[in-house]
Chain A
Amino acid sequence: MSSWPADTKYISHSTARIDAPAKLTGSARYASDIQEKGWLYGMILRSKWPSAKITAVNLDKARAIPGIKAAVVARDGEFNIRYYGEEIAAVAGTSKQACLDALRAIEVTADVRHEFVVNETEGLKADSPRVWENAPNAPAPHVRENGNVDTAFADCTAVSEGFYTTPVQIHNPMETHGNTVSWTDEGVTAWASTQGITSVRDGLAGALQLDHSKVRVITEYMGGGFGAKFGPGVEGVLAAKLSKSAGAPVRLMLTRFDQALAVGNRPSSFQKIKIGASADGMLQAFEAENYGTAGIGGGADAGGGGGGADIPMPYIYKVPNTRVKQSAVAINAGSARAFRAPGHPPASYGMESAMDDLAAKLGMDPLELRLKNDPNEIRQREYKVGAEKFGWKQKYQKPGSSPGVVKTGIGCAGGAWGGSRGDRNTQGDAQINPDGSVELRLGVQDIGTGTRTVIAVIAAEMLGLKPEQITVRVGDTNFPYGPGSGGSTTCPSVSPTVFDICTKALAQLQTQTGVADARGENWFAACKKLGVTPLTVHGQWQQGLSTDHACGVQFAEVEVDTETGLVTLKKMLGVHDCGLIINQVTLESQINGGIIMGMGYALYEERVMDDLSGVVLNPNFETYKMPGMADVPEIEIVLINMPERGVIGIGEPSLVPTAGAIANAVFNAIGVRVGSLPITPAKVLAALGKVPPAVHA
């Protein structure tokens, strides 16, 4: 079986992101930067009603606006609108201004329905207005049961019951979703802001009824996705139709407003948890009832219900007696999509909150309770290493015992991510030129994680060259197949593939040139012997170089002002198992990013909907708050180096434990549980009994 080299110059060291100069000088071309010859600006008209039947869409006046070259309806004939922001029509014109005028000129005739539901607790009720006509909003819950929960609780020394809720979180990548699409007689070319060039290619081909070979997708640079950018989206298909109709390329990027309504979010969760342990702190019984909404949900048309709102429970712990009941509630809101570690952040938050509440009942240090019950050896090690670095023993005080008005607290939480060893179908080519230059081509995309750099680092290591001598080309469906960037699997997909390409290249070079070892100083002489014909080698993913199941634990330190309710995050420590570290600097950036996004989830972020009008009230950055530089605390990282495990992805694991750790630190500071994310000042003050809790209409 293959194995990674032991003494390395680049692998497990730090190489600056190879595409940094392009991104730092503005020369990197994102989907939203594409200016194909004769390109048109595209925009979408969205529903202002949460529920309606569209009976007619008249585009005549829009088409008459000067500069407008095409206008199309989102769907033919009469159609139903099920959420505020659903697509109705789209226009393309020579300027944004023309498009804005044209959107206003579109005449929509609709039967507006005043019965709708945008609140998941309301949606659960049997008499709530149906999102889908033929099915209840909440189908029968999924129930999983092991052992005998009721008997086990009766035997427990300590039992804790709590209600923990998490909001709908919006992805908010800095570049919105969108594409520039050119549809000519030869086929379709789409410059997509996507995490999956292949899935966009297949999606467009399917929607437009074209052969896959007639659709090419290019993503040289894209401005973040976090799980929300895999398919072409309605916007991609509309851009293609506009392009065909206008006979010109169309750039259709969503507005920030559009992005908040229609192209994905993380489902909410409402977790009623009961947990019990024997006097020694061993977990004996666990019961959870959870519901959440994925909006109108995926595939909801047939079965009703949202789908996708289930969370893994009792998360990372093994409890002998469990009963878990989960329902997904459909509401009139945009559908959920995968969001960085789907299901895990709410599960970690709920379970880890329950663990700390139980520890308080037991009078036990919550870290101690984890060490007793966490079955995973890597996390055990991570907790121990982390606790020492963090100074847990010195800092830990019983919940609520911090003196003064501004109280300090610490907390910890754990996470897991299955991921995969990579897509075994990942392929790539290297072209080695007689002048010694090397070009690698893989049909993956770099979504900001540093995939290009990872490819260069591994190729440089294997060929005995420098990373800057490797030209990396990704983000084009004309290159050999690569997977979408999801599930933290890109690194374990591409790394073994590049290993294989380079191994084969060296063997082939030896055969063709007679140079026994073409690496390093022999490289140029060997390549010169190729004469005039470049060497092209094809490689693919190989077993034994990557692994799955990453673990991580995080520690948080907070200050809570008990007069204003404000939580200030002072410090985060992330301890993560990364298997074989490929490029440390970009790996650290991923962990920073996970922690900061988790911090937003814990303290700031929440999609707010208005029950009466059904609209999203905060589809922008001034009312949907995300962490800014001044909010971000000191972040320390410990990487548990396990090269023997091979390559593991880190994008998702780094986000999972953050909210739980912060929530527990707040509990530790003030001695009462704020059982609802985001932990806003109002909720802190309500938990302290200083203001009445918010009442939901």
Chain B
Amino acid sequence: MNDSEPENLGAHSRRTFFKSLGTVAATAATSQVRSVAAELEKVNAESLIGPGAVPVTLKVNGEKLKLMLEPRVTLLDALRNYSSLTGAKEGCDRATCGACTVLLGDTPVYSCSKLAIEAQGQDITTVEGLAKKGNLTKVQQAFLQKDALMCGYCTPGFLMSVTALLRKNPHPNADDVKHACAGNICRCGTQPRILQAALAAAGVHTASKTEVVNYV
């Protein structure tokens, strides 16, 4: 609405705010603060980019993606709306649901809360980059076998979280899996099956507890 948002931010652009903060910080006497000040000086020394579109190069699933993006474009937005990589999903756009999870190197991150320009120079893996030449990875196969997906919208995020876990810890226990998936939400209720799938991908097989009883 037009009445609540100030149009002019005056002197308080992000950089000048940092500068003034830096000045204050540098006058303080502790070494910790001095290091913060040094960090801020570094930030201030960087050249200003934006607010218009700037060239951004992302390395996604081993391929270079050259885009023109405003610096405020998130990695998720860049993938889904500026390229055809729609595998990572938008569920909340505020780092609470995990549907947008991608790997930066081996680390799972919420791509909705990472700016695309910040992800430059890193190896980004999305769900599209898991299966090589159509061969599902162990984790994907386990998801298929355990029916660890229903509507499938949260699935790419869970796959990335579980994949990252198994790269770091090839023999996780149930608690490790729960911890790794703590940042992912599913509304259909696939959590028990994802847990089983993650363990199965690590070679631990859990038996089904379902019993079929005849009525008569």
By a beta-carbon cutoff of 8 Å, the part of chain A in contact with chain B is 16-17, 19-30, 32-33, 35, 41, 45, 48, 95-97, 104-108, 172-176, 221-224, 226, 253, 255-256, 378, 381, 385, 389, 447-450, 577, 581, 584-586, 588-590, 592-597, 620-622, 626-630, 632, 634-642
User: B209 interface residue, CB < 8 Å from A?
Assistant: yes
Task: Indicate if the CB atoms of B152 and A28 lie closer than 8 Å.
Answer: yes
What 1/0 mask marks residues of chain B from 72 to 91 whose CB sits below 8 Å from any chain A CB?
11000100110011111111
Task: Indicate if the CB atoms of A224 and B192 lie closer than 8 Å.
Answer: no
User: B185 interface residue, CB < 8 Å from A?
Assistant: yes
30 contacts across the A-B interface (CB closer than 8 A): A16-B147, A21-B144, A24-B159, A25-B131, A25-B140, A26-B127, A27-B87, A32-B89, A35-B86, A41-B81, A48-B1, A95-B73, A96-B73, A96-B81, A104-B2, A174-B151, A174-B186, A223-B89, A588-B210, A589-B190, A596-B191, A597-B187, A597-B189, A620-B92, A628-B191, A629-B178, A629-B181, A632-B192, A637-B211, A638-B213
CA distance A97 to B93 in the complex (A): 14
Q: Kindly identify, within residues 140 to 161 of chain B, every residue whose CB is under 8 Å from any CB belonging to chain A.
A: 140, 143-145, 147, 149-156, 159
What 1/0 mask marks residues of chain B from 157 to 193 whose CB sits below 8 Å from any chain A CB?
0010000000000000000011101101111111111
Given contacts A25-B127, A41-B81, A593-B189, contact A585 B147 (CB under 8 A): yes
Task: Indicate if the CB atoms of B81 and A221 lie closer than 8 Å.
Answer: no
CA distance A83 to B87 in the complex (A): 35
By a beta-carbon cutoff of 8 Å, the part of chain B in contact with chain A is 1-2, 5, 70, 72-73, 77, 80-81, 84-94, 96-97, 99, 126-128, 130-131, 136, 140, 143-145, 147, 149-156, 159, 177-179, 181-182, 184-195, 208-215
Task: Indicate if the CB atoms of B96 and A448 lie closer than 8 Å.
Answer: no
CB-nearest residue of chain B relative to A223? B153
Nearest-neighbour CB distance to chain A for B109, whole angstroms, equals 17
Nearest-neighbour CB distance to chain A for B35, whole angstroms, equals 31
Given contacts A224-B187, A621-B185, contact A30 B153 (CB under 8 A): yes
Task: Please give 5 more A-B residue pairs, beta carbons under 8 A apart, in addition to A17-B149, A174-B188, A378-B215.
Answer: A25-B140, A224-B187, A589-B189, A589-B193, A642-B215
Task: Indicate if the CB atoms of A173 and B136 lie closer than 8 Å.
Answer: no
Task: Indicate if the CB atoms of A639 and B151 lie closer than 8 Å.
Answer: no
Contacts of B155 in A (CB 8 A): 23-24
CB-nearest residue of chain A relative to B159? A24
Nearest-neighbour CB distance to chain A for B212, whole angstroms, equals 5
Task: Indicate if the CB atoms of B210 and A629 lie closer than 8 Å.
Answer: no
CA distance A675 to B215 in the complex (A): 35
Task: Indicate if the CB atoms of B212 and A174 lie closer than 8 Å.
Answer: no
Task: Indicate if the CB atoms of A20 and B182 lie closer than 8 Å.
Answer: no
CA distance A585 to B210 in the complex (A): 10
Task: Indicate if the CB atoms of A174 and B86 lie closer than 8 Å.
Answer: no
Nearest-neighbour CB distance to chain B for A655, whole angstroms, equals 9
Partner of A174, one of B77, B94, B99, B194: B99
Contacts of B189 in A (CB 8 A): 589, 592-597
Partner of A104, one of B5, B92, B185: B5
Nearest-neighbour CB distance to chain A for B108, whole angstroms, equals 14
CB-nearest residue of chain B relative to A575? B213
Nearest-neighbour CB distance to chain B for A553, whole angstroms, equals 13
CA distance A584 to B209 in the complex (A): 13
CA distance A588 to B189 in the complex (A): 11
CB-nearest residue of chain B relative to A97? B70
Nearest-neighbour CB distance to chain B for A134, whole angstroms, equals 29
CB-nearest residue of chain B relative to A24? B140
Contacts of A20 in B (CB 8 A): 143-144, 147, 149, 152
CB-nearest residue of chain A relative to B209? A636
Given contacts A23-B152, A596-B191, A637-B211, contact A30 B92 (CB under 8 A): no
Task: Indicate if the CB atoms of A592 and B182 lie closer than 8 Å.
Answer: no
Task: Indicate if the CB atoms of A26 and B187 lie closer than 8 Å.
Answer: no
Task: Indicate if the CB atoms of B144 and A174 lie closer than 8 Å.
Answer: no
Nearest-neighbour CB distance to chain A for B59, whole angstroms, equals 17
Task: Indicate if the CB atoms of A584 and B213 lie closer than 8 Å.
Answer: no
CA distance A25 to B89 in the complex (A): 12
Partner of A629, one of B88, B184, B208: B184
Contacts of A636 in B (CB 8 A): 209-211
Contacts of A594 in B (CB 8 A): 189
Contacts of A621 in B (CB 8 A): 91-92, 96-97, 185
CB-nearest residue of chain B relative to A635? B192
CA distance A454 to B151 in the complex (A): 15
Task: Indicate if the CB atoms of A174 and B185 lie closer than 8 Å.
Answer: yes
**6 smallest beta-carbon distances between A and B, as pairs:** A26-B87, A448-B151, A593-B189, A223-B153, A23-B152, A596-B189
Task: Indicate if the CB atoms of B136 and A29 lie closer than 8 Å.
Answer: no
Nearest-neighbour CB distance to chain A for B138, whole angstroms, equals 12
Partner of A641, one of B96, B150, B159, B214: B214
Contacts of B209 in A (CB 8 A): 634-637
Task: Indicate if the CB atoms of A32 and B90 lie closer than 8 Å.
Answer: yes
CA distance A621 to B93 in the complex (A): 10
Contacts of B151 in A (CB 8 A): 173-175, 221-224, 447-448
Contacts of B96 in A (CB 8 A): 620-622
CA distance A21 to B186 in the complex (A): 18
CB-nearest residue of chain A relative to B90? A32
Nearest-neighbour CB distance to chain A for B196, whole angstroms, equals 11
Partner of B153, one of A19, A174, A630: A174
Partner of B143, one of A24, A173, A626: A24
Task: Indicate if the CB atoms of B187 and A173 lie closer than 8 Å.
Answer: yes
Partner of B144, one of A17, A27, A107: A17
Contacts of B85 in A (CB 8 A): 26
Contacts of B186 in A (CB 8 A): 174
CB-nearest residue of chain B relative to A644? B215
Partner of A256, one of B72, B87, B94, B188: B94
Contacts of B182 in A (CB 8 A): 628-630
CA distance A226 to B81 in the complex (A): 27
Nearest-neighbour CB distance to chain A for B130, whole angstroms, equals 7
Task: Indicate if the CB atoms of B153 and A224 lie closer than 8 Å.
Answer: yes
Task: Indicate if the CB atoms of B191 and A632 lie closer than 8 Å.
Answer: yes
CB-nearest residue of chain A relative to B85? A26
Contacts of B5 in A (CB 8 A): 104
CA distance A413 to B93 in the complex (A): 38
**Which of B96, B153, B179, B186 lies at the interface centre, i.e. has the most chain A CB atoms within 10 A of its CB?**
B153
CB-nearest residue of chain B relative to A107? B2
